[in-house]
């Protein structure tokens, strides 16, 4: 038996008829054709599928599409506006916080909730905060720098250097 649901993704309403077993990540990628949200492990482990549901970061491979009926969903496609990149995108760009980019959409969506709850996190808080997102390329240091840079930017503070650090 299918169900009719409406997902508000990045402000736009998507009404669709889905089987209750359809995962939210599939509804986003296949029904709404927004493929910026990735599927890495499909077992709730890697965080590549992280999106925001009503502002809370979620692994969309472990949520049913029907559970998100009527909810506000934010994906990476909604970050940049006509004015330019979102500060987290700018932070990742300037700090070389990605190599292959597979983890990046999920990593940024997670970082957005982290900074929303804790605008000025310590390095330790950032590392615990992204514990559910795996990156197989960067070694995380530049991701941490990017989140620190974005934290400064969003609070109008002096911006840290984006010169590559060799550690």
Partner 1 sequence: MIAENFNYEAPSTLEEAISLLHEYGDEAKILAGGHSLIPMMKLRFAAPTHLIDINNIPGLSYVKEEGGMLKIGAMTKEVEVEDSEIIKSKYHLFTDATKLIADPQVRNFGTLGGNLAHGDAANDHPAVMFALGASVEITGKDGKRTVPIDDFFHGFYTTSVQHGEVLTEIQIPAASGRFGSAYHKAERKVGDYATAGVAAMVQIDEDGKCTRAGIGLTNVNSIPMRAARSEEVLIGSDLSESVINQAALFASEDCNPSEDLRGNVEYKRHLVKIITKRMLNKAISRAK
Ligand X SMILES: Cc1cc2nc3c(=O)[nH]c(=O)nc-3n(C[C@H](O)[C@H](O)[C@H](O)COP(=O)(O)OP(=O)(O)OC[C@H]3O[C@@H](n4cnc5c(N)ncnc54)[C@H](O)[C@@H]3O)c2cc1C
Instruction: Report the distance separating Cα 126 and Cα 159, nearest Å.
Output: 17
Q: Decide whether 73 or 94 has the Cβ nearer to partner 1.
A: 73
DSSP 53-107: ETTEEEEGGGSBGGGGTT-EEE-GGGT-BTTB--HHHHHHHHTT--SS-SSHHHH
Shortest Å distance, C-beta 63 to partner 1: 7
Instruction: Report the distance separating Cα 50 and Cα 47, nearest Å.
Output: 5
3 binds, among ligand X, partner 1, ligand FES, none (CB under 5 to 8 A by kind): partner 1
Residues of this chain that interact with partner 1 (CB under 8 A) are 1, 3, 19-23, 42-44, 47, 50, 56-59, 62-64, 66-67, 110, 113-114, 128-129, 131-133
Identify whether the C-beta of residue 73 lies closer than 8 Å to the C-beta of residue 51. yes
67 scored as a contact of ligand X (CB under 6 A):
no
Site string for ligand X, 3-42 (x = CB under 6 A): ----------------------------------------
């Amino acid at each position: 038996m299918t169900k009719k649901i409406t997902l508000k993704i990045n402000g736009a309403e998507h009404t669709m008829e889905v089987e209750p077993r359809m995962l939210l990540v599939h509804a986003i990628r296949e029904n709404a054709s927004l493929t910026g949200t990735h599927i890495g492990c499909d077992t709730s482990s890697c965080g590549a599928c992280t999106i925001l549901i009503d502002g809370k970061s979620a692994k969309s491979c472990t949520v049913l599409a029907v559970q998100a009926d009527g909810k506000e969903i934010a994906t990476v496609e909604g970050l940049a506006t006509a004015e330019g990149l979102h500060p987290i995108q700018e932070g990742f760009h300037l700090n070389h916080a990605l190599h292959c980019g597979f983890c990046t959409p999920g990593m940024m969506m997670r970082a957005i909730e982290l900074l929303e709850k804790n605008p000025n996190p310590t390095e330790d808080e950032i590392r615990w905060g992204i514990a559910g997102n795996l990156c197989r390329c960067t070694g995380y240091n530049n991701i941490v720098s990017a989140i620190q840079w974005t934290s400064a930017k969003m609070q109008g503070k002096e911006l840290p250097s984006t010169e590559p650090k060799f550690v």
